[in-house]
Amino acid sequence: MWAEKLGKQLGNPTRSVAGYLVSRFLAVRNRLLEENAVRLSGIKPGDTVLELGHGPGLGLQSAAKLLTEPSGRLIGVDYSEYMHKMASDQMKELVASGKVTLHHCDVAAMPLPDSSVDKVFHCNCYYFWPDLRKAAAEICRVMKPGGLMVTTLRLSMVATMAAKRVMPGENWRPQNYMAALRDAGFTDVRMEDRQHKHITFQVIYATALKCHGNQIRI
Ligand SMILES: C[S@@+](CC[C@H](N)C(=O)[O-])C[C@H]1O[C@@H](n2cnc3c(N)ncnc32)[C@H](O)[C@@H]1O
């Protein structure tokens, strides 16, 4: 019962005591994953960058600092109205200037044009997406040819939570997500172990090539 409740809040934090506690937990526990996802994405100053399931907004803040050219743009999407509002409040000046755009929407249906994003990153969220294939196809659709997607996770913690049924089903398994990415048209899909401050975490990389609207002959 508690596991199901925790899973619901992690997958869609609501404006409530539980949702607030989860948002504080994410902000403290996931800083390492968010900052490393940004670092490993290889963001260039003029890139258009998208974070999926940004939660409280730590990764958005790190990425925004790297987009120093006028053409650099940052987009965030999150399914939770509470997280959307929290991140929008934190980044209100950048949102007002047009540098940052945040959408309250599902990753499987984003209001973004085809082939418009250079880099995508996300942490701790694909396990909550009900349909990995639909989500992967939508991510691929919005990415420019050759664009890089990076996701970070601590697999040992995810597996422990999945065993306690915090995440339902099998979507948490990296091989299932990686298969969905390959089927969607991503190439060079791979996972590697990394260490930061004695903490081991995993990174999944995928390059967008043969996605809708950006077919490349190789
Ligand atoms: C566990 S939290 C992780 C938040 C943040 N990335 C972090 O690592 O602290 C998962 C986030 O993904 C969002 N999310 C879950 N399913 C989503 C979906 N289908 N589309 C967009 N966002 C989603 C949730 O609302 C939540 O903010």
pLDDT digits (tens, 9 = 90+) for 62-119: 999 999 999 999 999 999 999 999 999 999 999 999 999 999 999 999 999 999 999 9
Q: Is the CB of 11 under 6 A from ligand 1?
A: yes
Atom of ligand 1 nearest to the CA of 106: 20
Total Cβ atoms within 10 A of residue 214 = 18
- How far apart are alpha carbons 61 and 87 in whole angstroms? 9
Does residue 29 carry a pLDDT above 80? no
The domain 2-208 having CATH identifier 3.40.50.150: the answer here is yes
Structure tokens at 53: 């399931």
Lowest mean pLDDT among 19-33, 42-56, 132-146: 19-33
48-52 β-sheet, strand order: 100-104, 73-78, 48-52, 117-123, 143-153, 199-208, 186-196
Q: Is the CB of 132 under 6 A from ligand 1?
A: no
Q: Per-domain residue ranges for the chain?
A: 2-208
- How far apart are alpha carbons 77 and 101 in whole angstroms? 9
pTM: 0.93
Sign of CA dihedral 124, 84, 71, 61: negative
Q: Is the CB of 62 under 6 A from ligand 1?
A: no
